[in-house]
Structure 1
């Protein structure tokens, strides 16, 4: 289906959902495989902007179509940021698309992933109701934390209209180290006493990138202690932007997010991938058939973000709770099924 609806208000979004038997929301198209389904597309480009921002409470609320870059700039003006390293900011990724894809960056290692920063969501469910779940304050313990189910939901539970996030103060300085040993020292460094912000291995590299944040003088002292344990050097250039923007992926090539524990890293040996200790995941680019076979043998799963590969690779789990949430929020199957 080539039909695209472009609502500019929550009311128009409700009408767009109600008037169409099968819909899927689309953002900036930075992860296009996720929306390649038989459905009318609802473009979120007309629903953008920061609705509320309270720096003293470290929270903001923004419309789903708001570019992450716009949010990052507003937070930076007040010395704040989203520490999980949102991906594809320069490419124009939107807040809603990032939540639906469930994609977190290297900073997830220390601070937690995207789902740990979502406080509340406003969305349209499958029956056309505009609902709000969660809250707009950091301390919110009122029952089941349903907003987190929208993280990585791929638009299968509803169309997000706006979201509330918590944010952190931005550290004064960041320092990146290159450590010898790569995947062989991944578990060792991750479980060490050192408070790394991120531990990643870039595609084609055998060394590990380790990021530290804090006062500059303290970081220099800390780096010497780290080098006494693992050989390496300080990296002068910024390697993180290229990783966050997937600049290592060839044009037209498939990009697949894979959940992988340190014990099963060998499953990806020889493949072009960005490996991150944050959340135990990897981004892989390459031939989908070989990767699918490897994942099935290892009992792992992957989801395709770009390219012509099937949406799901490897072992596909179907948690009963996800099925229950789908039934409750979309009883008429207005959104694509969980397996599609």
Structure 2
């Protein structure tokens, strides 16, 4: 076993015995997300490198401290990608942080989220034990759900050491279209198009403009361009737009006003709250810049059939994620107890008392 792994296991055991806490951190690019960090920093960046990559198998196994940019450069050299388009809010993000945060970019509605691409993982639990779940093949189901549970856990279940991810080929052709539409008309069209065989890989509405990205075989993209109409964006402009949405470099995300992320059914009505809004994922993800109270925003999200997260800025001393129903809260506590009974890892980062 590697010296670094042994050292981490001993550090975890010592913290558990002393009632201490460890704050797992990679590049720190998502430190703003969730509740405040607490505990002695545990930096994963020394544990980096590609463990196994067979392009023909569409699977890569990588150490958690590996820079996300390094992995994506390797995949791009083979015409492949992480299809969920993980955000890069700043340089230096790691693969482990990408999985732990569980955040996906514009392609999420078309291909799935982070957890849909996690095939297996190794992690150190709160007892200092090195555990393995899942595997490196897409049909492997042993422990598969445990591996997927790590996505979005914000490091509260254990220290991810290694992860196996499904990758996909880059689409042969892409094109983007722009339409001048108000919010109601944009949502109506997005839901109508969702029921048709169109190669839509991303969408965004903001400020009276709806933009679509089409991805797939050249013939399918060309046919959709002719069918949908709209203004065809130059490739460079389109690439900048989608990258700005993925990494929150778009002007909409600038500033210090509270940024809320609402997850609702794609056919939900308008959020109808004061503030500015940006709509992604075919209507299922609504970003809101607003100073309204958390209670008002969460009540409106619930009325629309969804939930709301205080994604960035604003008052973060309370709960930033939508309160869980009692059965789900009990499940979260059971998972935490099973993996980290002494509460060593990232205490309170996901929810207070967890």
**Secondary structure of 1:32 counterpart:** coil
Alpha-carbon distance in structure 1 between the residues aligned to 2:176 and 2:300: 35
Alpha-carbon distance in structure 2 between the residues aligned to 1:278 and 1:135: 32
Partner residue in 2 for 1:9: 4
Runs of 4+ in 1 over 6 A off after TM superposition: none
Superposition deviation, residue 314 in structure 1: 6.8
1:267 to 262, 265, 271: 271
Alpha-carbon distance in structure 2 between the residues aligned to 1:189 and 1:316: 33
Partner residue in 1 for 2:351: 339
Alpha-carbon distance in structure 2 between the residues aligned to 1:31 and 1:90: 8
When the two chains are superposed, the root-mean-square deviation of aligned CA atoms in Å is: 2.5
Structure 1: runs of 5+ lacking an equivalent: 1-6
**Secondary structure of 1:176 counterpart:** strand
More displaced stretch, 234-243 vs 329-338: 329-338
1:317 to 310, 314, 324: 324
Question: Structure 1 residues 292, 26: CA separation in 2 closer, same or farther (over 3 Å shift)?
Answer: farther
Partner residue in 2 for 1:26: 25
Superposition deviation, residue 275 in structure 1: 2.1
Superposition deviation, residue 313 in structure 1: 4.1
Question: Structure 1 residues 284, 25: CA separation in 2 closer, same or farther (over 3 Å shift)?
Answer: farther
Question: Structure 1 residues 177, 279: CA separation in 2 closer, same or farther (over 3 Å shift)?
Answer: closer
Contact kept? 1:67, 1:94, Cα under 8 Å: yes
Structure 2: runs of 5+ lacking an equivalent: none
Aligned residues: 327
More displaced stretch, 319-328 vs 158-167: 319-328
Alignment of 1:207-246 (within 5 A): 207-227=209-229, 232-236=230-234, 237-238=237-238, 239-246=241-248
Question: Structure 1 residues 315, 245: CA separation in 2 closer, same or farther (over 3 Å shift)?
Answer: closer
Superposition deviation, residue 209 in structure 1: 1.7
Per the normalisation by structure 2, the TM-score is 0.83
Partner residue in 2 for 1:114: 114
Contact kept? 1:27, 1:94, Cα under 8 Å: yes
**Secondary structure of 2:65 counterpart:** coil
Question: Structure 1 residues 264, 221: CA separation in 2 closer, same or farther (over 3 Å shift)?
Answer: closer
Superposition deviation, residue 60 in structure 1: 0.6
Per the normalisation by structure 1, the TM-score is 0.87
Partner residue in 2 for 1:3: none
Which protein, 1 or 2, shows the higher relative CO under an 8 Å CA cutoff with sep ≥ 6? 2
Alpha-carbon distance in structure 1 between the residues aligned to 2:275 and 2:131: 43
Partner residue in 1 for 2:38: 38
Contact kept? 2:321, 2:351, Cα under 8 Å: no
